[in-house]
Structure 1
Amino acid sequence: MAQRLDGKALAQEIQLALAQQVKTLTAKTGRPPGLAVIMVGDDPASATYVRNKHRACDRIGIASYGKHLPASTPQTELLNYIQQLNQDDRVDGILLQLPLPQDLDAVTLLNSIAPDKDVDGLHPINMGRLLRGEPGLRSCTPAGVMHLLQTYDVPIAGRHAVVLGRSILVGKPMALMLLAANATVTIAHSSTRDLVAVTRQADILVTAVGRPHLITAGMVNPGTTVIDVGINRVEHPNGKGKLVGDVDFAAVEPLVQAITPVPGGIGPMTVAMLLQNTVLSYCKRFHIDG
C-alpha cells in the first residue's frame, strides 16, 4: 500500500509556524499582514475556497480584506478596485479568485495586480522570475506540491517527472519548479499521443486536468509517486455529491510508492502557500528577513 502524503497535516504545521511568526512581526511593525481576496459572481466552489482562505487568515492573524462583487461588475470597476488595493498600505497580498464571469478579461485583471502583491504568483513578472530562477512569489499550488515532496523526502533530482496539464495556474509553473529541482520533465496534455505510455515512465506523476478518475491502475508503475491536484465534484444518483481527484484512488493506491488523497492532499497546501506568500510580501515591504 502506498504512503499517503498528508497535505492537510503538513498545512496545519505550516500555519502554526506562520501564526507564531505573524504574532512576532505584528508586535514589531504595529500591524498584521493584510490579504485582499476578490471574488466576482457566485460560483459555489469559489465561495467555498474563499471562505476557507478567510478562516485560515483568522487562524494565523492575517487581516482579511475580502470583497464579493456581483457577476455584472464591469471590467473598469474591477480594475479601479485593484488599483486601490495596490495603493493600500494595509494590503500586502491581492488574490483574484478564479474563474471569473465570461465577460471579464482575466489576463488583463491579473496583470493589473502589483507584482509584489501578487500572492498567487501569476503576474508575468513573477512567472518570469520563476523561469529565470530568481527569487519571487511562486504560484501557490505548484509551490505546495514542491513543499510536500521535499517534506516527505521524495527524491526529485534525476527523476522523471510527468506533469499532466499545461495551465498557467498549475501545469506550466509546476514543470518549471520540478526542472529547477533537477528533474527531467515531460508535460502531457489533451493532444499527447499514447498517454498511458507517457505516464508509465513517471517516477513522479502530477495530474492537474480536472477529469475525475482519469488516471487508472494501468497508467502507473510500482515506484511512482502520484500527486493528484484535481478536485472534481461527482454527483451520485441519490443527489449527494463527492469530491474526487483526477486519479482513481482506490485502484491506484495499492500499486504505487506514494500518493496524495483528495480531499486532504494538495488543496490545504495551496492555502498554506497563499498565507506564506502573504507573509513573505509583508516582510519584503518592511525590509524584514522572512
Structure 2
Amino acid sequence: MTEVIDGNAVAEEIRAGVSDCVETLTDTGVKPGLATVLMSDDPASETYVSMKQRDCEEVGIEGIHVDVDNDAPAEELYDTVERLNDDDDVHGVLVQKPFVDQVDERRVLRTIAPEKDVDAFHPANVGRLVAGDPRFKPCTPHGIQRLLESVDVETEGKEAVVVGRSDIVGKPMANMLFSKSAGGNATTTVCHSRTEDLAAHTRRADIVVAAAGRPEFITGDMVSEGCVVVDVGINRVERDGDSELVGDVAYDEVAEKAAAITPVPGGVGPMTRAMLLYNTVKAASAESGVDVELP
C-alpha cells in the first residue's frame, strides 16, 4: 500500500511550533518580522507574496511588504533591500522571483544581509551549508527532509537520486542528502537534462527527488518497486480544454510502485512556506539572543 505523504499535515505541525516560538519571543519583547519585496506585475508572484504575508499573520510574525515599481531602476530594489537590512524590526528579507530584466539576480542575493537571508541563497549561507555549518537550511530542501522524517524514511546508506540541479532545490538537496552533518548520509547522484540513460539512475534509487521543472517527467518505468518519491514540480498543463496542476512525476503510475510519494498539490509546496516561517523565527532568535525550541 503506497503511503501518500501529507505535506499539509506536516506543515501545520511546524506552523504550530513556530507560533509557539513567536509567542515566546514576543513575551520577551522581540516580535519576529519578515519583509517581502516584489518588483514585478506578474500575477503569480503577487499571489505567492500574498500567501507568505498571510502565513506570517496566522503564526504571529510581523509581515512587512514593499512593492518596487517594475519600471524603476535596479538601484531602487538594491536600496530597498539595504534599508530592510538596517531595520531592527526585520529579521528576514525575501525578494520574490522572478526578477525584471534590469535587475542583476546575483547582486540581489549578495545584497541581502546573510543573517536575514531566510531563503538561504546568499553565497555566505550557501558556503556554510556546503561546509556543514548552515546558518539556515534552504526552505524547500529542508521541507523535503522533514517530509521524509515524518514517514520514518531513513536516508543513511540509501541510494538517492536528485533530478534537477537548480540552486534553489537540486544542488542544496543533494548536499543535504549526502552530508553527514545534515543527517543525510545517503549515496547521492544528481541528474539533469544532459544525463544519459536517466532511467538507469532513477531505477536503482531508494529515494527519488524530482525537481526538473518538466510535467510528469518521471514515469512508472523509471522507478523501482518500494522506492520513495518526492515531487517538487508544479506545472500547469492543458487537458481536454481544462488547465490542470501536475508535478514532475506521473503520479498515478509511479504511485503503483512507490512505498511513499508526495502529491501535487499538497506535498512539498506547503512545506516550503512553513520552513520560511521557521527560518524567520530562527533568525529572530539568533539576533535577539533569546533561545526558543524550534519545531
Normalised by the length of structure 2, the TM-score is: 0.95
Does 2:277 align with 1:281? no
3-state SS, counterpart of residue 66 of structure 1: strand
**In 2, Cα distance between the equivalents of 1:213 and 1:234?**
10
1:20 deviates by 1.7
Does 2:83 align with 1:84? yes
Q: 1:232 aligns with which of 224, 231, 235?
A: 235
Does 2:14 align with 1:11? no
What is the letter of the counterpart of residue 109 of structure 1?
Answer: V
1:151 deviates by 2.0
3-state SS, counterpart of residue 137 of structure 2: coil
1:38-87 CA distances to partner (integer Å, 9 max, x unpaired)? Answer: 11112232222211111110000000111222321321111101000000
Instruction: Specify the alignment match of 2:200 in structure 1.
Output: 197
Instruction: Specify the alignment match of 2:21 in structure 1.
Output: 21
1:206 deviates by 0.3
After superposition, residues 66-215 of structure 1 pair within 5 angstroms as 66-180=65-179, 181-215=184-218
**In 2, Cα distance between the equivalents of 1:45 and 1:206?**
24
**In 1, Cα distance between the equivalents of 2:142 and 2:44?**
21
Does 2:243 align with 1:245? no
Task: Say which is worse superposed, 187-196 or 241-250, in terms of deviation.
Answer: 241-250
**In 2, Cα distance between the equivalents of 1:246 and 1:101?**
26
What is the letter of the counterpart of residue 97 of structure 1?
Answer: Q
Unaligned runs of 5+ in 1: none
3-state SS, counterpart of residue 186 of structure 1: strand
What is the letter of the counterpart of residue 216 of structure 1?
Answer: T
3-state SS, counterpart of residue 255 of structure 1: coil
**In 2, Cα distance between the equivalents of 1:144 and 1:186?**
20
1:83-131 CA distances to partner (integer Å, 9 max, x unpaired)? Answer: 0000000000001111112321111111100000000000011111100
RMSD: 1.1
Unaligned runs of 5+ in 2: none
What is the letter of the counterpart of residue 176 of structure 2?
Answer: M
3-state SS, counterpart of residue 130 of structure 2: helix
3-state SS, counterpart of residue 80 of structure 2: helix
**In 2, Cα distance between the equivalents of 1:183 and 1:120?**
24
Q: How many residues align?
A: 288
1:237 deviates by 4.3
**In 1, Cα distance between the equivalents of 2:261 and 2:254?**
9
3-state SS, counterpart of residue 65 of structure 1: strand
CA contact (8 A) 2:37 2:96 kept: yes
1:143-202 CA distances to partner (integer Å, 9 max, x unpaired)? Answer: 100111112210100001100111111100000000111000000001100011111111
**In 2, Cα distance between the equivalents of 1:102 and 1:163?**
30
**In 1, Cα distance between the equivalents of 2:173 and 2:38?**
25
What is the letter of the counterpart of residue 110 of structure 2?
Answer: N
**In 2, Cα distance between the equivalents of 1:234 and 1:4?**
22
3-state SS, counterpart of residue 125 of structure 1: helix
Q: 1:269 aligns with which of 250, 268, 271?
A: 271
1:249-285 CA distances to partner (integer Å, 9 max, x unpaired)? Answer: 1111111111000000000000000000000000001
**In 1, Cα distance between the equivalents of 2:149 and 2:214?**
27
